[in-house]
Structure 1
Amino acid sequence: MGSSVGAANGIILRDTKLRIQRFHHQCVFTTSSRVLILKRALSSNSSSSLVVTAVSTPVKPSPPSQTKRSKVELIKEQSNFLRYPLNEELLTETPNINEAATQVIKFHGSYQQTNRDDRSTKAYSFMLRTKNPGGDVPNKLYLVMDDLADEFGIGTLRLTTRQTFQLHGVVKKDLKIVMSTIIKSMASTLGACGDLNRNVLAPAAPFIRKDYEFARETADNIAALLTPQSGFYYDLWVDGEQVMSAEPPEVVRARNDNSHGTNFSDSPEPIYGTQFLPRKFKIAVAVPGDNSVDILTNDIGVVVVSDADGEPQGFNIYVGGGMGRTHRIETTFPRLGEPLGYVPKEDILYVVKAIVVTQRENGRRDDRRYSRMKYLLDSWGIEKFRTVVEQYYGKKFKPFKELPEWEFKSYLGWHDQGNGLLFCGIHVDNGRVAGKMKTSLRDIIEKYNLNVRLTPNQNLILCDVRRAWRRPITTTLAQAGLLHPRYVDPLNLTAMACPALPLCPLAQTEAERGAPGLIKKVRAVFDKVGLKYNESLVIRVTGCPNGCARPYMAELGLVGDGPNSYQIWLGGTPNQTSLAKTFMSKVKVPDLEKVLEPLFYNWKHKRQQKESFGDFTNRIGFEKLQELVENWDGVIRSPTRYNLKLFADKETFEAMDELARLEDKNAHQLAMEVIRNYVAAQQNGKRK
């Protein structure tokens, strides 16, 4: 917390005259206690340069609920700024690290995992996640990550919903060489996981336009401002060598400014202190009208506001978004960000810092389920939250500026950058780059020396393409199965899934591996009820309720709630501005069609003009939708030129449906196959 002092973090109190020192939540320490602190500090592996004094952030009485702290808070306190015990565990011969080190390594950008497909043994490995503000991936870094995936990973790269790479399957003995290679390629995994600011999102489209360029620059500066400063990352992975580029002076000024009590004085972590944040923290920067970053799902949403000439003037600020929740605990929930106010552009770093410090000082540290900033907003309300942030900011917020309607933009296909060059957005199913796709992408990126940007929708953009290169690049992509978006199933274009099984320890069922089959089921139901091929909806699949693929913003969200089972969430909208709600729980995969058929059938026949599926479900209401599902008899009553009325009675349908399940089909599909085979046989007989 604001003036906390960690007993095992190498902190020595200078003022030995004080008999009482606040230690987190008003704990009392005598001289003997301070001697104990001194002994622990001297016995640690930290150098004298890392010894710090008590902080100067204003002392605030801690509420009674804060007297208890979670186990992770204690691990952070005892870690010597996230070094211990990871530094010791990395030297052991075991393939895994202990529980405390598992928590610490998250801040370094890695999760320990096991292969849950292999039940015979615990096959430990590590997932590494990069930090790429705005999804920016220079040419050299892409090639390095491609090489590392083959040499030390499982041969694939994963593009995440936060514009980063995930590298799976790195074993413990290879961690240091992989980490050091990434660092020496002028990249980082620092803060990609853990209780601090995560990767900062920004529109991936490389438009040469003032607002887009300013959004990318702002994302870079915010990421730099909130990067840990104590050196623990470089100590462990490159033996203390600081491989960093120079920071803009405005970032340094904002970080060091303590005029409103935001900083820990004389601490190697002026913003984070010894305890860092209560939980992960997510920030996105957007351009008005372009909601490619799911702006309302972030702890802080920053929107560039420009004047009539297109010159950026300031920012609208949203706060309090977040996706994670826990099944069957209704006090946990997804939440949309809400308007906080407007600030001039020169103040953005100070405002972001003030919001982060408000969460640092007041977010819950006793129960991690409630530690995200969205719960602080829900508890306080926006007015109280704004008042506290203004104290750390030192100014009043101005009224929120009017914004145009948000629209989701995928930037797939070919586009003009605005400087005579082109960019090409490439759809990657669930973000998994593998096989011939991986080889072809590398060949293109290496041959043409292209830079890359990763999108928040798990796709990839090739940047700075000369017009003469468009045809050969298009041919190479097509040969690898990377088609122009008009040749991709529209249901796939906006779908997302998290990795889930087999490596994620939280997964309750499939997501990435299950998504293709689930989308095929949706397509089959579309065909059955007569929806046109070019119609679509936003589908997102996760293996657990944590919401990594943002399913709570989907028109159809499938959230794993058991083996081969999903919650169904409905009510998100195509532009990602409405929160979905739980429609049904514990729906087994073979039963999905029974739920989806009446929903899609009634959407087709009862929707208003151009009404999206999400808007339709919100207008009709869940009670009426539930009735439609319960009373559905499986009979399509309005045949189209592409769909025949195949079943005259319910008994025939049910018998055909039971038979179809043996072949992983639905009754309509099986009946159509029988009819086609019969017609083909009759035609062949006539020819003979």
Structure 2
Amino acid sequence: MSIKLPSPKQPDALAENPSPVEIIKDSSDYLRGDITDGLTDNLTGAIGTSDQTLIKFHGIYQQDNRDVRMERAARKLEPDYSFMLRLRIPGGLITPAQWLAVNSVANELTETGSIRLTTRQTLQFHGIPKENLRSLVATCEHRLLDSIAACGDVNRNVMCTPHAELSPTHTAAYDIATAISRRLLPATRAYYEIWLGEENLTGGITEEPLYGKHYLPRKFKIGIAIPPSNDIDVYSQDIGFVSVVKNNSLHGFNIIIGGGLGMTHSDTRTYPRVGDDIGFCTPKQAIDVAWHLVAIQRDYGNRSDRKLSRFKYTVARLGAATIKAELDKRLGFALEPSVPVQWMHRGDYLGWHRRPDGKWDLTLFVENGRLAAETSLKNALSEAAALDCCSLLITPNQNIMLINIADSDRIRVEAVFSRRKLSIEDNTTLSGLRRNAMACVSMPTCPLAMAEAERYMPTLLTRLENEVTTLNLRQNDIIIRMTGCPNGCARPYLGEIGLVGKSPGRYNLYLGASYGGDRLSSLVGKNLNEEGIVAFLRPLLEKYANQRQDDERFGDFLVRTGHVKAPQCGADFHP
């Protein structure tokens, strides 16, 4: 039963008992703060505490190298500060010229030289010295790439399923993803003034027609899935648009609201949650649906306790029926009933695949999304981009696609990888575990990390590959995810095997999520080290090998056989 909502507060009014971040936003002059002054302070590699919050709205995080933190403290040196910048790339699609600019920026303006492909289909640069930030932003802007709203309490990068067999629908869905991204951008010119030298012509006063002075209570995430692929994990989005395809054209979307995966280990009020289906809209209605749902979260989200401020908690507190009733009221029409869909997979089809239009796509595996400096794959991608015969597309699984390749150009692309001694066929022989694995960046730069993830995951996979090979399960797709903390960046609670960092070398183990991504996993083991993880999984994998039904997935098998009790909703997640 829906409840009657009170009148929303004015967007520019400070909330009762506001969190410290709300106070920072209130006095920020629409995200300007003192960032400009901090960038010119040569006495430190850092910027002011309040401005560390504000730069997130510009797509930037301040970090330090935790590998050397204690050593530097012993020498009475400040931490080894640097910055991470995340680009805004709706749907993950970039041009060859943009990729070449990204590669140049990584090589010349970062200390690491690496490029990270993220789980939200965008790119991150790590190890940026403070003095290089403006040059990096300007170089990206020259190629029509920006980092506006890639982080912070706003709508972030909009995702969209990319796969080749879906290309006719993908074009329509991608266009809507980019339109939603543009419509939900902040209006403030602070980004252009601070990073690109635009003159402040407004006297510091900006109207934010959607966000108001205080923006959203927390971050907001939107994605478009195209069944049968749920590669974007649509049930984990604040708003998920599930494409409904009829006669090979985009008919509309089922609307999923209130998904989200972050939580805090010690706080049982927090939990991951899969979203609720509230109805169907047409493609023309989708942008307005997104706008009004964001506005509802702006008006009714928790601005006192940031641990409880995501849209999932607003939906859980008020009820999906209440949110839908308010949405219908603001839209001026009611959503139609949802259309049944079926999920078949969440992974990427690696290697060469012919598109319906006769051209080719090449999907390349990038372990945990990391393209380290001067590696063969990173250099090969830039050499392929320089051929100017394809676009590049980042997948939600941290891999990369070269798309729209003509028959005559396929030979040229293959020659690039051959010269670099990279076998495209190797992408198709990976184990089912490795090709379905995902890990967050974690150590040494993420300040929230409690354990390793990206750097450790390949080692654990090698151990587990020995087990599945022995059991003749090497090519079975099993989705495994790892994060260094419980905030959910690599979506571990939707992995059939999920590992969440608890302390150095120790992880909580979650099992039993559905292969289609519409059911959470359950906590089955706490504080496990590598030996404990392998020992816990070995007998379950053996039972799966011997007792599974035809085409039964690992997570579904564990639930059917009673080894895991699947949580029914977010609040029931904690045992």
State yes or no: 1:345 paired with 2:345: no
> Which consecutive unaligned segments of at least 5 residues does structure 2 have?
1-7, 73-78, 567-575
Shift of residue 207, structure 1, vs aligned partner: 6.1
Matched ranges for 1:150-161 at <5 A: 150-153=107-110, 154-161=112-119
Partner of 1:129 in structure 2?
86
Matched ranges for 1:285-300 at <5 A: 285-300=224-239
Shift of residue 355, structure 1, vs aligned partner: 0.5
Secondary structure, counterpart of 1:558 in structure 2: strand
Indicate which of 411, 423, 433 corresponds to 2:349: 411
C-alpha separation in 1, matches of 2:552 and 2:168: 34
C-alpha separation in 1, matches of 2:389 and 2:209: 39
Q: Which has the higher contact order (CA 8 A, sep 6+)?
A: 2
Equivalent pair of 1:583/1:622 in contact (CA under 8 Å): no
Q: Flag the 1:622–1:488 CA change in 2: closer, same or farther, 3 A.
A: closer
Partner of 1:545 in structure 2?
486
Indicate which of 3, 24, 27 corresponds to 2:14: 24
Shift of residue 289, structure 1, vs aligned partner: 1.7
Equivalent pair of 2:432/2:477 in contact (CA under 8 Å): yes
Indicate which of 323, 330, 337 corresponds to 1:392: 330
Partner of 2:253 in structure 1?
315
Partner of 1:379 in structure 2?
317
State yes or no: 1:574 paired with 2:515: yes
Letter in 2 for 1:187: L
C-alpha separation in 1, matches of 2:391 and 2:456: 32
Equivalent pair of 2:558/2:564 in contact (CA under 8 Å): no
C-alpha separation in 2, matches of 1:70 and 1:571: 36
Matched ranges for 1:326-475 at <5 A: 326-434=264-372, 435-475=375-415
- Number of paired residues? 542
Indicate which of 216, 224, 247 corresponds to 2:182: 224
C-alpha separation in 1, matches of 2:391 and 2:23: 42
Partner of 2:242 in structure 1?
303
C-alpha separation in 2, matches of 1:140 and 1:241: 28
Q: What does the per-residue CA deviation read over 1:536-594, in whole Å, with 9 as the maximum and x for residues that have no partner?
A: 41111110000100011101111001110000000113222221111111011232222
Indicate which of 514, 517, 523 corresponds to 2:456: 514
Per mean C-alpha deviation after superposition, the further-off stretch among 207-216 and 505-514 is: 207-216
Letter in 1 for 2:395: T
C-alpha separation in 1, matches of 2:274 and 2:225: 15
Equivalent pair of 1:2/1:360 in contact (CA under 8 Å): no
Secondary structure, counterpart of 1:3 in structure 2: coil
Indicate which of 4, 10, 24 corresponds to 1:3: 10
Shift of residue 208, structure 1, vs aligned partner: 7.8
Equivalent pair of 2:106/2:115 in contact (CA under 8 Å): yes
Secondary structure, counterpart of 1:166 in structure 2: strand
Partner of 2:526 in structure 1?
585
State yes or no: 1:117 paired with 2:67: yes
Partner of 1:666 in structure 2?
none
Per mean C-alpha deviation after superposition, the further-off stretch among 288-297 and 111-120 is: 288-297
Highest Rg: 1 or 2?
1
Shift of residue 292, structure 1, vs aligned partner: 1.9
Matched ranges for 1:75-90 at <5 A: 75-90=24-39
State yes or no: 1:103 paired with 2:49: no
Secondary structure, counterpart of 2:341 in structure 1: coil
Equivalent pair of 2:350/2:428 in contact (CA under 8 Å): no
Q: What does the per-residue CA deviation read over 1:238-269, in whole Å, with 9 as the maximum and x for residues that have no partner?
A: 11279xxxxxxxxxxxxxxxxxxxxxxx9621
Equivalent pair of 1:271/1:357 in contact (CA under 8 Å): yes
C-alpha separation in 2, matches of 1:537 and 1:303: 23
Equivalent pair of 2:394/2:400 in contact (CA under 8 Å): yes
State yes or no: 1:270 paired with 2:177: no
Indicate which of 269, 284, 288 corresponds to 2:223: 284
Equivalent pair of 1:570/1:582 in contact (CA under 8 Å): yes
Q: Flag the 1:360–1:406 CA change in 2: closer, same or farther, 3 A.
A: farther
State yes or no: 1:240 paired with 2:191: no
Per mean C-alpha deviation after superposition, the further-off stretch among 423-432 and 533-542 is: 533-542
Partner of 1:149 in structure 2?
106
Q: What does the per-residue CA deviation read over 1:281-327, in whole Å, with 9 as the maximum and x for residues that have no partner?
A: 000012232212111110001123344x3333322111111110110
Letter in 2 for 1:336: V
Q: Flag the 1:548–1:332 CA change in 2: closer, same or farther, 3 A.
A: same
Shift of residue 477, structure 1, vs aligned partner: 2.8
Equivalent pair of 2:495/2:513 in contact (CA under 8 Å): yes
Equivalent pair of 1:354/1:390 in contact (CA under 8 Å): no
Q: Please provide the CA RMSD for this pair.
A: 2.0
Shift of residue 409, structure 1, vs aligned partner: 4.4
Indicate which of 427, 437, 462 corresponds to 1:495: 437
C-alpha separation in 1, matches of 2:543 and 2:151: 43
- Deviating beyond 4 angstroms after TM superposition, the runs of 4 or more aligned structure 1 residues are 206-209
Identical-residue share of aligned pairs (%): 35
Letter in 2 for 1:3: Q
